[in-house]
Amino acid sequence: MNWIEVRVTVQGEDPPLAAEMVAEGFRSVGIKGVVVEDPSEQPPEGWPGDGPGRPSETAVTGYFPDSAAGRETLALFETQLAKIAAVHAFRATVQQRRRAEEDWAESWKNHFHPQRISAGLVVKPSWRDYPALPGEKIIELDPGMAFGTGTHPTTVATLRLIERYLLPGQRFLDVGTGSGILMIGAALLGAGAVHGVDNDETAVAVARDNLRRNRIAASRWRVHHGHLTAGTDGRYHLVAANILADVILDLLADVGRVTLPGGTLVCSGILERQADQVTAGMQAAGYEVLETLPIEEWVGIAARWDGA
């Protein structure tokens, strides 16, 4: 399959926030695997290994299938983008070019580099070098077209909260698993079983490949295709959902069914302005909010299930 590469550069008072709004616009039409270029981001001082260069402008790039259906989705995205830019008062410039499959497969990889999530957890793209420090757990990832590269603040927040609340031997469920990054992180942190569900069949295949790449024993994991918790059996000590706020609010109606009493729900994909609405929804659904973790304009939330 060939692809239409759509690169949106943004200018305004708050380019990073504008970029997040554009990325959300891509995701709202089903384009999960986006690249965000932010000139303000730099690797930490003394960062070892294959570090990133600094982009010259703020931009977001997404890829649409070069097909009739893909072009319809692109037209919908352009409509969404115009509305988003008008509401948030920034300028958006769109560039398009067609990419052959083999060109796309290599070009998007240039944007992804190793990222330290915490003192003990690092995400490393499979094609990059990284000399691990003593005690570090390395998530090796090839995200393909699935969302979840480890570079987005929502992914960082979710992994940090999983690291804080997951205990060795516990059962873990990832709702909207994308590339499988959260499942791999949970497995490396000692989860006894890691399960995932995604409504995108491509993401399910990518997650399975990444679990194998990280040598997670097949007996410890399962990934299936479904909407939210559909098709999920059993109950879990920790459930994670790094998706959008409105989807999290929908999830709250059913997620207690798959959460053990006293278990933890970790959510992200929530903008700061949406955090109060989500925490209120959690409390109404029977959850006790334990912690909110802000990173840039995003918030991760951990809550305890008090239901039966």
pLDDT tens digit sequence for 138-164: 998 876 654 556 667 888 999 999 999
Q: Are 4 and 66 in contact (CB under 8 A)?
A: yes
Q: What is the pLDDT of residues 244-298, one digit of tens each?
A: 898 999 999 999 999 999 999 999 989 899 999 999 999 999 999 999 999 988 9
Q: Does one domain contain both 152 and 65? A: no
Residues across the chain:
308
Q: Phi and psi (nearest 5°) for 297?
A: -90, 10
| Alpha carbon distances (Å) from 280 to 27, 258, 270, 276, 283 | 24, 20, 13, 6, 5
Asked if residue 121 belongs to a domain, the reply is: no
- Pair (194, 239) in one structural domain: yes
Does some domain include residue 23? yes
Query: Which tokens in the block code for residue 114?
Result: 């190793």
What are the pLDDT digits (tens) for 45-100?
444 444 555 678 899 988 888 899 989 999 999 999 999 999 889 999 999 999 88
Q: Do residues 156 and 194 share a domain?
A: yes
Find out whether 160 and 300 touch, Cβ atoms under 8 Å: yes
Q: Are 166 and 253 within one domain?
A: yes
What is the spatial distance between Cα 23 and Cα 224, in angstroms, rounded to a whole number? 26
Q: What is the extent of the structural domain holding 256? A: 140-305
Please report whether residue 90 resides in a domain: yes
- Report the run of H or E that residue 86 belongs to, with start and end: helix 68-88
Q: Do 148 and 53 belong together in one domain?
A: no
User: 3-class SS at 184?
Assistant: helix
pLDDT tens profile 1-29: 788 989 999 999 888 889 888 988 988 88
Sign of CA dihedral 201, 115, 156, 137: positive
Report the predicted TM-score, pTM, of the whole model to 2 decimal places.
0.74
Q: Which two tokens stand for residue 154?
A: 């929502």
Rounded to whole angstroms, the Cα distance separating 284 from 296 reads 27
CATH number for 157? 3.40.50.150
219 neighbors 208 (Cβ within 8 angstroms): no
**Which residue, among 222, 212, 287, 288, has the nearest Cα to 251 in the 3D structure?**
287
Q: Residue 234 falls within a domain, yes or no?
A: yes
Same domain flag for 285 and 145 = yes
160 plus 241 within the same structural domain: yes
What pLDDT was estimated at residue 102? 67
Say if CB 261 and CB 236 are below 8 A apart: no
Report the side by side order of strands in the sheet with 3-11.
35-37, 59-65, 3-11, 91-99
Q: Are residues 12 and 82 in the same domain?
A: yes
Alpha carbons 163 and 250: distance in angstroms, whole number = 25
Task: Give the integer Cα–Cα distance in Å for 280 and 106.
Answer: 43
- Count of domains for the chain: 2
User: What pLDDT score was predicted for residue 45?
Assistant: 44
Same domain, 151 and 103: no
Q: Are residues 78 and 167 in the same domain?
A: no
Query: Which amino acid type is present at position 298?
Result: W
Q: Residue 10's domain is classified under what CATH number? A: 3.30.70.3400
